[in-house]
Structure 1
Amino acid sequence: MSYENILVEQKDSRAVITINRPTKLNALNKATIKDLQEAFKALDKDKTVKAIIITGSGEKAFVAGADISEFAHFSERKAHKLSEKGQEQLFSFVENLSTPVIAAVNGFALGGGLELAMACHFRVASDNAKMGLPEVSLGVIPGYGGTQRLPQLVGKGIAMEMIMTAGMMDAQKALSHGLVNYVVTQDELMPLCVKLASKISNNSSVAIGYAIKAVNAGFKNDVDGYKAEIKAFGKCFGTEDFKEGTSAFLEKRKAEFPGS
């Protein structure tokens, strides 16, 4: 499948999605969001893909924000629909994807870019990365989940400061606050993400999908995360992956998970 604003490469058991709008610092517009949703949906259905890495083209930016020119003159009603549709189409969609998604944050991740990175299951940053939610400097607030996911990751106080000052956080500070898992040089960024994706690929994709659901349930006000975990734990016992994993352990061999 061909896309207008992204590149998709599959190798072994992983896929790499590259947002490819370098002249716009990979800013998200409606067409790019649509491309991303379609790519994630297709890769999630592909049983050979065990992990997805998402990054931005070039060395300056992961995603430098949303394309402001698209919504600068929106009414309240249109803005409401933009936020609602965007969250459903991409940000919440990625967060709840059963295939793990790693954000390779190369450079600026601002506004919608940081919101996309936070929707991924975890993040690795290059040492030149800078992250922030500058929306209040434009008279608006983050609309793609930023006010919810940032406090979950860094705590309420740090999140409030970042949002209210519209300031940027460098990679090392992001690491110290738990916003990213690793900080490496730009040359090391993709190799580390590939290494992590390979480690993920050795495990049961079915169990990982259930783990994602259980972890996410703990951050929803209307869901009992412990009950979600119990339910997911029980369901694992009915899978072929569980049969293979336990048999391999008892037989002292490497598991070959069928993914079912």
Structure 2
Amino acid sequence: MTSGDPELRVERRGAVLAVTFNRPEARNAMTWGMYEGLYEACETADRDDGVRAMLLSGAGTAAFVAGTDIGQFTEFRDGADGIAYEERIERVISRLETVTVPTVAAIRGYCVGAGLAIAAVCDLRVADSTARFGVPVARTLGNCLSMNTCSLLVHHFGPARTLDVLLRARLYTAEESAAAGFLAEVCEPADLDDRAAAVLDRVLGHAPLSMWAAKEAVRRLRRAALPDGDDIVARVFGSQDFAAGVRAFLAKERPEWQGR
């Protein structure tokens, strides 16, 4: 089967359901249609007994996923819009996290913002040396992460590295991310497809229920003490700084932060 959405290709490759984020001209930034397509791909993986693993990758060489398409933020008016946005994103991220088959992300180029969240809920991540990871919103848009996404970063990178990434708005290299334990493997750009295929071949030979049990146990441990964070999201997404940050980003200008 192949998806009809040109911006999100979904195709069966034997026992693997391959999902390709396909907006290379926009560094594969996610549209609402792409988010919904990813959700439906997860549904397909769970209802098709022939699917034994999922592979996620980005088209082109510039990015895995460079966040959400910023144009979709222009209609935000207050903090409630921010909460609704994060709930919409979390629905998709959580669905990917609960897919019963192993999920492998093959990452080249930018993996930032929502792209980092997508990669973080995959079970295994393989990246080439061009990959860069981060959430530079303190420098770009002036928004914030949901509590669930913050939990994912702390879960994978630890609190100190998470604050380093967020406060300094810096991008971690593939080598730094591997040292933090986020990546299973780092390879040269020409080898990425082969390394991802080797990882998939290995997990396809393992017991499905054993792998599901491991995935589900780790997921439950992470979410066991997840607090509510709507007040944080509402304050930041409803701020003047966020509105100014979106305008400045789209105009390719530097925002002037006011802290309100």
TM-score interval for Structure 1 and Structure 2 normalised by the shorter chain: 0.7 to 0.9
Secondary structure of 1:141's aligned partner: coil
TM-score normalized by structure 1?
0.81
| 1:102 alignment counterpart | 104
Q: Which runs of 5+ in 2 are unaligned?
A: 227-260
Runs of 4+ in 1 over 6 A off after TM superposition: none
Secondary structure of 2:222's aligned partner: coil
Provide closer, same or farther for how the CA distance between residues 144 and 94 of structure 1 changes in structure 2, counting only shifts above 3 A: farther
Secondary structure of 2:156's aligned partner: helix
Higher relative contact order (CA 8 A, sep 6+): 2
- Aligned-partner Cα distance in 2 for 1:118–1:18: 16
CA RMSD, 1 decimal: 1.6
| 2:233 alignment counterpart | none
Aligned length: 222
| 1:193 alignment counterpart | 196
2:49 aligns with one of 47, 68, 87? 47
8 Å CA contact 1:50–1:99 kept in 2: the answer is yes
- Aligned-partner Cα distance in 1 for 2:165–2:60: 26
Q: Aligned AA for 1:183?
A: V
Q: Aligned AA for 1:49?
A: V
TM-score normalized by structure 2?
0.81
Aligned-pair CA distance for 1:18:
0.6
2:153 aligns with one of 150, 153, 159? 150
1:56 aligns with one of 46, 55, 58? 58
8 Å CA contact 2:45–2:99 kept in 1: the answer is no
1:7 aligns with one of 9, 32, 36? 9
Aligned-pair CA distance for 1:144:
8.0
Q: Aligned AA for 1:47?
A: D
Q: Deviations over 1:145-173 (max 9, x none)?
A: 43111111111101111011111011111
Q: Which runs of 5+ in 1 are unaligned?
A: 224-260
1:37 aligns with one of 29, 36, 39? 39
| 1:128 alignment counterpart | 130
Q: Aligned AA for 1:61?
A: A
Secondary structure of 2:183's aligned partner: coil
| 1:77 alignment counterpart | 80
1:205 aligns with 2:208: yes
